[in-house]
Amino acid sequence: MLATAVVLKATPTRRSPRVAPMAETLAQAPAAAPLALAVAFLGERARALLGGWVSEVSAQALSDGADAAERLDALVVDAAPAGIDREQARRAIAAARERGARVIGVAAADVSEPVFAGAADVVFSERLREGALCAPAPLDPRVANPLGFRHSDVAGLALVAGQGADPEPALAHFEAVRGAEPLVLLAAAGGPEPPAGVLRQTPPATEAELLAALRERLGVLDHPRLHQDDAARARALVRLCAAGIPVVCAERSPALEALLGEELSAALAGVGWRALLDLDRREAVSVAQRRAALRRHSLDARWRCLAAAAQIAVPERAKVSVILSTRRQEWLSFGLAQVARQNYAPRELVVCLHGDGFSDDVEERLRAEVSGPLSIVRVASEQTLGDALNAGVEVASGAYVTKMDDDDYYSVDHLADLVLALEYSGADLCGKAAEFVYLEEIDVTIRQLTRDVETRLAGGGMIFRRDVLRELGGWPSLSRAEDLAIVRRFEEHGRRIHRTHPHGYILNRHGRDHTWRPYVDYFLFRSGRQWRGLRFDRTGIR
């Protein structure tokens, strides 16, 4: 991307279809709304797997061989669609091709000669299969997500036995858990009774009820004998992880890891059940696993990968406008580095130079230091921080707007995590609380005890839907507490606010030039955990 600069004076106002595992080419984050693709489905399984995230076009006209006026980007075809013979399917495929649409086949383990054989541009398979894009059934992040995750008030561990599973080897594998933590086996009626110390329960009727019940536990213990095969196991693991339920995954096969992909496999590796007994470590496990599941295995991610393989153009993901407002040139490079290390794209940077304390060549230095879209805004010294932020919003072009502070620490996943949370929650404002704080004066990192409320958010960890932010008038014209005021403004207007996990963000209290200047004792009194030094390992920063 080319770097561009806009200098303004502010006024007070605001991876080929022939690859097996496809996880490494999956998209980074689910979209807030279905993709702008027109798709017809031939078969109920195809619709069940890939529907609900695109605009559906009736396949009746295609199967009848008739022409239709609607736009058509893709035809998704079952291996053996019920009620449709091979000739009908071939006519529909030919009609779709005449209209310039691509054909996506959905493989089935029990069908050796699918109706789309030799005619599909790309084949999707839930099992490892030569010449197909292979991954678990994708999830809808509006349904499977970590809303309702509990950091505390959880106890015991659970095993979930799928249909036809044999839980005895799994119980034997995790025998050491008994006596240390309550152990629950969720399995259908029938079969031998579990050993002493294991409570057997019938699983809830729906997936939503099952996930809700599992959120009351420290986590889930998973084993291959709890599933019919690797495909069924991969599907279950993706949904558990997306829901934020920490998983201890024993005896992972190469086939399972190929389906899950590198990122989710890495998040599952090395997690033992004892790690879940430490609530902070348990939460870190949940964050890593949910992040991988949501951005690699969502419907949006799967469709983007299929579209790329089939050469279907799709809109880019929502752009994030990062507003970095500062009065301090000495902190500019630090702040720019925190933005530059973010792995979310597309994004743009809006730097608000607030006041007169900058060198004459500051804009030239900014353009040399920043790679990617850049806007520079000048803000008069007498204007408030709220005014400066609103000046940044006025030139921002992203669908989402976020504020990053020039002196705080951010993980590479910070923006990606905020976008995920904003989109699966459906909120207009999402953010992190400043639970992790580095006290530079005494070289200690703490985790604050915060009230578990949605509206307690850190100023340097918020993301907004830009149109809503502008509709509500932007930040109040304040130089202090403008962050609290904007949260209250959203709350007063009935706009949904969501607080996500605090990992990947550290509030840096270095004692120099803060607009809010509490003493170190203020933070120590509120701390629940303390670690010597600047601890990225305990705060989710990488």
Query: pLDDT band for position 469 (50/70/90)?
Result: very high
> Looking at the structure, do residues 122 and 170 belong to the same domain, yes or no?
no
Identify whether 315 is part of a domain.
Answer: no
> Looking at the structure, do residues 404 and 363 belong to the same domain, yes or no?
yes
Identify whether 147 is part of a domain.
Answer: no
> Looking at the structure, do residues 254 and 293 belong to the same domain, yes or no?
yes
Looking at residue 409, which CATH number applies to its domain? 3.90.550.10
Q: What is the pLDDT of residue 30?
A: 38
Q: What is the pLDDT of residue 520?
A: 77
> Could you say which of 72, 103, 134 is where a domain stops?
134
> Looking at the structure, do residues 233 and 193 belong to the same domain, yes or no?
yes
> Could you say which of 134, 166, 201 is where a domain stops?
134
Segments forming the whole domain that contains residue 397: 320-539
Mean pLDDT, the chain, as a whole number? 89
Task: Report the predicted TM-score, pTM, of the whole model to 2 decimal places.
Answer: 0.89
User: 1-5, 54-58, 120-124: which has the highest mean pLDDT?
Assistant: 120-124
The rounded distance, in Å, linking the Cα atoms of 40 and 60 is: 9
> Looking at the structure, do residues 130 and 94 belong to the same domain, yes or no?
yes
Q: What total number of domains does the chain contain?
A: 3
> Looking at the structure, do residues 393 and 527 belong to the same domain, yes or no?
yes
Identify whether 366 is part of a domain.
Answer: yes
Q: What is the pLDDT of residue 178?
A: 86
Which pLDDT tens digit goes with each residue over 69-95? 678 999 999 999 998 999 999 999 999
> Looking at the structure, do residues 339 and 403 belong to the same domain, yes or no?
yes
Which pLDDT tens digit goes with each residue over 478-533? 888 889 999 999 999 999 999 999 999 999 987 655 455 566 777 787 777 899 99
What one-character-per-residue DSSP string does 336-351 give? HHHHHT----SEEEEE
89 alpha-carbon distance from chain centroid: 37
> Looking at the structure, do residues 264 and 128 belong to the same domain, yes or no?
no
Identify whether 13 is part of a domain.
Answer: no
> Looking at the structure, do residues 352 and 469 belong to the same domain, yes or no?
yes
> Looking at the structure, do residues 505 and 356 belong to the same domain, yes or no?
yes
Which pLDDT tens digit goes with each residue over 153-186? 999 999 999 888 889 999 999 999 988 899 999 9
Q: What is the pLDDT of residue 480?
A: 84
Identify whether 14 is part of a domain.
Answer: no
Name 348's bridge partners: 321
> Looking at the structure, do residues 206 and 264 belong to the same domain, yes or no?
yes
Is pLDDT above 90 for 351? yes
Q: What percent of the chain has pLDDT over 90?
A: 77
Which pLDDT tens digit goes with each residue over 298-318? 999 999 999 999 999 999 999
Average pLDDT over every residue of 60-65: 64
Q: Are 495 and 465 in contact (CB under 8 A)?
A: no
> Could you say which of 74, 101, 134 is where a domain stops?
134
Identify whether 505 is part of a domain.
Answer: yes
Looking at residue 76, which CATH number applies to its domain? 3.40.50
The rounded distance, in Å, linking the Cα atoms of 219 and 112 is: 39
Q: Are 46 and 81 in contact (CB under 8 A)?
A: yes
Tokens of residue 68, six digits: 């239709």
> Looking at the structure, do residues 103 and 207 belong to the same domain, yes or no?
no
What are the contacts of 235-239 at 24+ separation with CB within 8 A? Answer: 235/126, 235/136, 235/137, 236/160, 236/162, 237/136, 237/264, 237/268, 237/293, 238/136, 238/137, 238/139, 238/264, 238/293, 238/297, 239/139, 239/144, 239/207, 239/211, 239/293
Identify whether 409 is part of a domain.
Answer: yes
Which pLDDT tens digit goes with each residue over 370-381? 999 999 999 999
Identify whether 326 is part of a domain.
Answer: yes
